[in-house]
């Protein structure tokens, strides 16, 4: 496809959620409308926006939260995309078939057409993040989607930590990498490790922007969810950074927000010609990246 030199206004929806699935869907749709009124052309939700982050426990009843694609949420997101003429990236709990579930992002173009799906590739299994119980790893690979306002790549939360995922998505022509996210502190660890944990999360994503010469936009949730004496305190701070890794805009740690910024796609060529990492890649020497580990030889 031809190089793009246009601009797009990008918005991230940073929200608290309730126990009411319909309320969460309706509130997100209304925030997409609000973002469009502020000039947004591409809008991304936080990870699994329809419900509380249910992966804090392994509970078979939580599979009832999933829905097919197409389904009620995709119908609502497609409708608001068409109504407001915005591109929408929506993160959902997909019921693909009986016993087969994914953590899935759906991309809608500005006419409401579904561009396609991305299914989360890297699935964590950590205290309060028991995602392997619920989600089958993605089988669509790393993908980009050509939309009215730019070519976007979508990865999801735990994918944020993997340079391979960012690289393979960027190499397909993505101008922006979107990361719908649900990440926060274990409250009992926050005082000792909280600052370092957040800094690592932001730094790794800024490094993806720099190494690939693309915009990065991470949409996170806010608020405490789960056991009142534990649970997760989601740290918000959704952000958009440019291809130099510079933070353009950032949400607060506590409050809901529409985090919005203009992205000038001509910056990709400027960044990549001044810092020519793609030019100097030794693609002849990276075959061993497909190995799990290189034992001493």
30 annotated active-site: no
The catalytically annotated residue of 31, 44, 47, 233 is 47
The catalytically annotated residue of 157, 225, 233, 241 is 157
| Spatial separation of the C-alpha atoms in residues 8 and 20, rounded to whole Å | 33
94 annotated active-site: no
Q: How many Cα neighbours within 13 Å face the side chain of 45?
A: 31
Q: Return the ∠ at Cα 21 (arms to 17 and 22), rounded to 5°.
A: 115
- Helix locations, the chain, DSSP H: 21-37, 72-84, 163-170, 187-212, 266-274, 277-280
| Spatial separation of the C-alpha atoms in residues 219 and 240, rounded to whole Å | 9
Q: Are 249 and 40 in contact (CB under 8 A)?
A: no
| Spatial separation of the C-alpha atoms in residues 218 and 241, rounded to whole Å | 9
Q: How many Cα neighbours within 13 Å face the side chain of 58?
A: 8
Q: How many Cα neighbours within 13 Å face the side chain of 269?
A: 7
120 annotated active-site: yes
The catalytically annotated residue of 31, 115, 120, 241 is 120
Taken as a whole, the chain contains a residue count of: 297
| Spatial separation of the C-alpha atoms in residues 90 and 38, rounded to whole Å | 19
SS3 16: coil
Catalytic residues: 47, 120, 157
């Amino acid at each position: 496809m031809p190089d793009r030199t246009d601009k797009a206004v990008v918005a991230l929806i940073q929200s608290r959620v309730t126990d009411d699935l319909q309320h969460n869907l309706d509130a997100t749709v209304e925030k997409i409308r609000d973002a469009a009124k502020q000039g947004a052309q591409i809008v991304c939700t936080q990870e699994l926006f329809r419900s509380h982050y249910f992966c804090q426990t392994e509970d078979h009843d939580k599979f009832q939260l999933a829905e097919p694609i197409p389904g009620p949420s995709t119908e609502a997101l497609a409708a608001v995309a068409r109504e407001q003429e915005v591109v929408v990236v929506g993160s959902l709990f997909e019921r693909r078939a009986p016993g087969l579930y994914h953590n899935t992002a759906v991309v809608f173009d500005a006419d409401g057409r579904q561009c396609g799906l991305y299914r989360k590739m890297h699935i964590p299994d950590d205290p309060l993040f028991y995602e392997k119980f619920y989600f089958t790893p993605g089988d669509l690979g790393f993908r980009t989607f050509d939309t009215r306002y730019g070519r976007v790549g979508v990865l999801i939360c735990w994918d944020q930590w993997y340079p391979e995922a960012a690289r393979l998505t960027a190499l397909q022509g993505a101008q922006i990498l979107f990361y719908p996210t649900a990440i926060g502190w274990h409250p009992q660890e926050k005082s000792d490790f909280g600052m370092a944990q957040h800094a690592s999360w932001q730094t790794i994503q800024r490094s993806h922007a720099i190494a690939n010469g693309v915009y990065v936009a991470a949409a996170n949730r806010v608020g405490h969810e789960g056991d009142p004496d534990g649970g997760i305190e989601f740290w918000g701070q959704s952000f958009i950074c440019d291809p130099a890794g510079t933070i353009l805009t950032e949400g607060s740690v506590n409050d809901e927000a529409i985090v919005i910024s203009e992205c000038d796609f001509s910056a990709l060529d400027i960044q990549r010609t001044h810092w020519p990492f793609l030019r100097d890649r030794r693609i002849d020497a990276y075959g061993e990246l497909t190995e799990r580990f290189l034992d001493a030889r």
